[in-house]
Structure 1
């Protein structure tokens, strides 16, 4: 049967033209519409083929535009107040006696300001950004030998940023039996501190 069908089609170029035209039109319409289309071929006893035009593509619905919702004045005021409290709290923290400038911190480490900033950028040193005061460096991030805790880079990686590392180091944690991250490092509980940081980091991902 396949051979007979092939011979019938090839014996009449006109039939082939009709079929190929219908097929080509369907391909073009499908690409334009981005979906499947179909066409029908009717054949009479004499072998005459009639191609019924393919279905019209249904126009894609217009994307619904959400109506603009006016911001809630009370919510906006609450957010602004929260941002202001955060700004004041950050300024208070950065103005503490335990916060050193880059130059003072570099002198304490016996190195240069450039080196301090390079290590801050790589997370090896904790530096907190203050809009007016510039970066400030907690003096308590140094171990008993006067060097920044080696775990600071890992804490930056797991917690995502300097202020997150600061909060971890100054706040008590249940996973550390109520110790702060800093106290855990001071007592040599390095593994427990890093595991707690991993847990805290997961909660905020």
Structure 2
């Protein structure tokens, strides 16, 4: 079976003869199942929440996609928490605590330290952060911290960083999460690991798929 979409390299998936014969009779339904899976993958990456849907098949061959109420319940609960004062305060507290723990890691350094590793100045580091050529994460009290893994052995930042900002938006935290997460499209590796192998095009393709909410 070959999956294809405009602007995305086709993907070949081996399936058994029985499965292929059945799917061939329900092409529209198979497409719907795959599209729902793609949307579910994109949604869970963006929100960090699990997404569930079921495929209901009748003896007559009718196929229906079922989205359980729990998906809507979860979304509704989170929306209510965001709009309530106590819920908003708790969410902000959790966010600050998580950010602080990330910024305190050994691979997070100041602009001065990153400048030393790059063989340049703090002013240049700040300028390149503003130009979206470096990832600088801002915390509630610690100022900006820079992941050391965005530099290669020669002290040069990944050249793909500006393209990731273009694809995923202006938030450095979004870029950080994308690069540190494991992706099935990269054989379960993080985007950082793929970039260290020179797989810039593959990483950018995954980022584009996430941004578009499509199944790559």
Answer whether TM exceeds 0.5 for this pair. yes
Alpha-carbon deviation of 1:84? Answer: 1.0
Residues 45-64 of structure 1 mapped to structure 2, 5 A cutoff: none
Alpha-carbon deviation of 1:120? Answer: 0.4
**Cα distance in 1, alignment partners of residues 185 and 179 from structure 2:** 13
Deviations 1:159-198 (A, max 9, x none): 1120010001101012212111111101121111000111
Q: Give me the TM-score of the superposition, normalised by structure 2.
A: 0.58
Q: Which runs of 5+ in 1 are unaligned?
A: 1-71
Q: Give me the TM-score of the superposition, normalised by structure 1.
A: 0.61
**Cα distance in 2, alignment partners of residues 131 and 177 from structure 1:** 35
Greater strand proportion: 2
Higher relative contact order (CA 8 A, sep 6+): 2
Alpha-carbon deviation of 1:105? Answer: 0.7
1:86 aligns with 2:95: yes
Number of aligned pairs?
A: 134
**Cα distance in 1, alignment partners of residues 126 and 111 from structure 2:** 7
What is the match of residue 161 of structure 2? 152
Cα RMSD, aligned residues only: 2.1
| Bigger Rg, structure 1 or 2 | 1
Alpha-carbon deviation of 1:144? Answer: 3.2
SS in 2 for 1:191: helix
Deviations 1:33-77 (A, max 9, x none): xxxxxxxxxxxxxxxxxxxxxxxxxxxxxxxxxxxxxxx789432
Q: Which runs of 5+ in 2 are unaligned?
A: 1-79
Structure 1 runs (4+) deviating above 6 angstroms are: none
- Contact kept? 2:96, 2:140, Cα under 8 Å: no
Correspondent of 1:165 among 152, 166, 175: 175
